[in-house]
Amino acid sequence: MDNRNKVHTSFNVEVVWQDRSSARSILAAIVLVGLLSARLVYTTFITNTKPLEQPLIINSFSRTVRKRFHAWMFLFNGPRIIQDRFDKANGRSFEVLAPDNRYVFVSSVKHIKELDTAPDTVLSLQAASKQMLQPVYTMHGFNWFDRRGTEGVGFVRALRTLLTNNLPQILPDLGVIVRTRFMELHSTHTTQNAKNEQFMESALAYIEETLICAEIVRLIPKFLVPFIGGIIAWRLKSHETVFDTLLPIAEQRCQERDLQNIGQAVPEHADCIQWIMATSPRQNPWTAKRVVHELMAIWFGSVHALSTTITFAFHDICIHPEYVQPLREELQTKYGAFERTGTGLPLLDSFIKESARLTPVESMSTRRSALQPFTLSDGTKVSPGDWACTPVRAIMQSAEYYPEPMKFYGFRFVDSTILLKSASSNLNFRQPVASKFTDVNQAWHVWGTGRMACPGRYYASAVMKVIIGQVLKNYDCKLAKPVGPCSATLRSSRHSVATLRLGVNIDHELQTESLPSLLQHAD
Ligand code: HEM
C-alpha cells in the first residue's frame, strides 16, 4: 500500500464516449442537428399550422413555436427541465414534452402503484423500451412485442434468480479478469488479448451506435423512418457482427437442447445463453435467432447503465478522497467473503449508492408507454403513445427522503452499528434507516419500481463492487482533467465524459481504453 505514494507515472482510462468513437459521434451529431431542423420545420409548419381563417393565428402560431422549442430543449436539458417541473408540482403529477413524446411524471406512492398495477395491455415497459432503442434498426431487426409476456418473461428468472445464484461462481473469475485487464492496460499498451477482438470491438461500438441511431430514428418524421432506418441498419456493422458471432453458438445450444429432449447426453453450460434458453416458453421454445436477439437487448441494457454508473462512482472517489482509506480497509478484510457470497461490503455499497443518488445516469425511471388510454386517479390522462414515468433523480435528491439531500455522504446508507472509529462526522453521517444499493422502494427508483424492477440489479451491484474494489485495492485514482464537465446530457440521461488517471508504480506511456471493454472480457 505504501508504494502508492511513490507513483511516478499513470495511465488514463477513458470512459463511455471515447476518442476513437468521437469522430463518428460528431458526424452523427451533425446529421442529428440537420434532422432536428427538418423535423422542427415539419412539425411547426406542416402538422401544427391551423387554417388561415382562424382568429389569433399569430398568437397560436407563436405559442406552438414556443411549445415546440421547449420540447426540443428537452433533448439537451432534460434533467433540469424535469427537476423544475417536479419542484413546482408539489407531489402532483406533471407533464414534460419532448419532440416525439409527451411524458407524464408521477411521484406519489399512490400514483406509482397505479402504474405498477395497470395491465400490460395498457401501460407497457416493452413498448417504451422499443421506442427508446428502435431495435428493428439497431438490433439486427429485433421486433419485440409491445405487450409484455407475449413470448414469455423467462429472462426475468434467468437474470433475477439464475444469474444472481451463480454470482459466487462468477465473481472470482471476474476479479481475475479485471485485475489482468488493468495490468495489460499499463504494461503492454495493447488490447489484443481478447479471444475475438472484432467481436469485442463491435460489442462496445454497438452500445454507442444504438444510442445515437435510435435517437435519429425517433426524431425524424414518421414517414421517413422505414427509409432512413433501413439505411442506418444497413450502414451499422456492429450489431451485425455481434449477431453473426453469437448465432452459431446459440444454434449449437439449440441442437443440444433438441438432443437432450430425446434423451441424449449433452454438455452442461452455466451461462446467460443457457439460462435464457432454459427459461424461454416450453410450448414454443425460442429459435437461435430469438435467443441472440434477447441477448443483444440484455447486453445493451446491462452495459450502458452499468458502465456509466461505475464511471460516476470513480469520479466521486476522485473528488472525495477521504473515503478511499476506509473503503480500502473494508476491501482488505471483507473482499474475500464478498467474492464467495456475492453480498457484503456495506461501505462500498453505500458509497456507490450515494454516487448513483447524486449523479444518476437517468432522470426518468419506470417508463411505461400507453398502448390504450389511461387515467390516473387525479384525472391526468395518458393517451396512447404518451409515457407515464417517475422523476427518479428529483425524488432521490428530495429533502422529503434524504437529509441534506445535495451533500455527498458516502456512508449515509450503512447500518449505524458499522460506525467508523476515528472517522470524521462527515463520514459517519447516516440516513435514519439503513438500506442497500439493490433496494427498490419509494425513495429509490434507480432500478425502476414494483413488479418490473430491474432483474439484473444484484449482478450489476456485484460487478460494480468487483471493478471498483479491484481498482481501489491496486491503484490511486485521479481525474486527468479535474476541472470541466464530467458528463454530457442527452434527453433525460447523463453520459460520462470523464477521463480517469490511475496511478501505478511502473513506468509507461499514456494509454486510453474504455471501461465497458472490461465487461466484454467478463462475458
Ligand atoms: C447500473 C446498472 C443498471 C441500472 C441502473 C438498471 C436499471 C433498470 C431499470 C430502471 C429498469 C426498468 C424497470 C422498470 O421500469 O420498472 C430495468 C429493467 C431491466 N434491466 Fe436493468 N439496470 C441495470 C443493469 C442491468 C443488468 C446488468 C442487467 C442484466 C444482467 C439488466 C437487465 C434488465 C432487464 C432484462 C430489464 C427488464 C425487466 C422487465 O422487463 O421486467 N439491467 N433496469
Task: Write the ipTM.
Answer: 0.98
How far does the centroid of ligand 1 lie from the alpha carbon of residue 455, in Å? Answer: 6
CATH of the domain at 103: 1.10.630.10
Q: Where are the beta strands (DSSP E) in 386-475?
A: 387-390
Distance CA 277, CA 377 (A): 40
Helix (H) / strand (E) containing 22: helix 19-41
Nearest-atom number in ligand 1 for the CA of 126 is: 40
Distance CA 367, CA 145 (A): 16
Which of 365, 368, 447, 518 has most ligand 1 atoms within 8 Å of its beta carbon, as the pocket-test mutant? 447
pLDDT band per the 50, 70, 90 thresholds, residue 515: very low
Helix (H) / strand (E) containing 382: strand 381-382
Grid coordinates of 37: 431542423
pLDDT tens for 364-401 read 999 999 999 999 999 999 999 999 999 999 999 999 99
pLDDT tens for 93-119 read 999 999 999 999 999 999 999 999 999
Grid coordinates of 302: 446491462
The 8-class DSSP code of residue 441 comes to: B
The dihedrals phi and psi of 500, each to the nearest 5 degrees, come to -100, 145
Nearest-atom number in ligand 1 for the CA of 303 is: 27
How far does the centroid of ligand 1 lie from the alpha carbon of residue 322, in Å? Answer: 31
Classified as helix, coil or strand, 366 is strand
pLDDT tens for 211-264 read 889 999 999 999 999 999 999 888 888 999 999 999 999 999 999 999 998 999
pLDDT band per the 50, 70, 90 thresholds, residue 76: very high
Classified as helix, coil or strand, 3 is helix
pLDDT tens for 6-61 read 333 455 554 433 333 444 553 455 455 555 555 555 555 545 444 445 566 777 88
CA 56 to chain centre: 45
Which of 147, 454, 523 has most ligand 1 atoms within 8 Å of its beta carbon, as the pocket-test mutant? 454
Number of domains in the chain: 1
For the Cβ of 356 lying below 6 angstroms from any atom of ligand 1, the answer is: no
Neighbour order of strands in the sheet with 9-14: 9-14, 499-504, 476-479
Helices (H) and strands (E) in the chain, counts: 18, 12
Distance CA 378, CA 92 (A): 9
- Tell the burial category of 22 from Cβ atoms under 10 Å away from its Cβ (0-12, 13-18, 19+): exposed
Q: Which residues constitute the domain of residue 381?
A: 2-522
Residues in binding site for heme: 454
For the Cβ of 460 lying below 6 angstroms from any atom of ligand 1, the answer is: yes
Q: Which residue, 225, 203, 204, is CA-closest to 215?
A: 225
For the Cβ of 448 lying below 6 angstroms from any atom of ligand 1, the answer is: yes
Region 487-506: mean pLDDT is 72
Tally of CB atoms within 10 A around 257: 17
For the Cβ of 221 lying below 6 angstroms from any atom of ligand 1, the answer is: no
Q: Are strands 381-382 and 374-375 parallel, antiparallel or unpaired?
A: antiparallel
- The residues facing 490 across adjacent strands are 493
Grid coordinates of 299: 447486453
User: Is residue 456 within 8 Å of 159, Cβ to Cβ?
Assistant: yes
For the Cβ of 459 lying below 6 angstroms from any atom of ligand 1, the answer is: yes
* Backbone CA torsion sign across 415, 348, 207, 154: negative
- Taking CA atoms only, the protein residue closest to ligand 1 atom 35 is 298
Residues sharing a CB contact under 8 Å with residue 48, sequence separation 6 or more, in sequence order: 64, 68
For the Cβ of 516 lying below 6 angstroms from any atom of ligand 1, the answer is: no
How far does the centroid of ligand 1 lie from the alpha carbon of residue 383, in Å? Answer: 25
Min mean pLDDT across 57-66, 189-198, 296-305, 461-470 is at 189-198
For 185-190, the CB contacts below 8 A with 24+ separation are 185/11, 185/13, 185/511, 185/513, 186/11, 186/502, 186/504, 186/506, 186/508, 186/511, 187/506, 187/508, 189/508, 189/509, 189/511
- The residues facing 374 across adjacent strands are 382
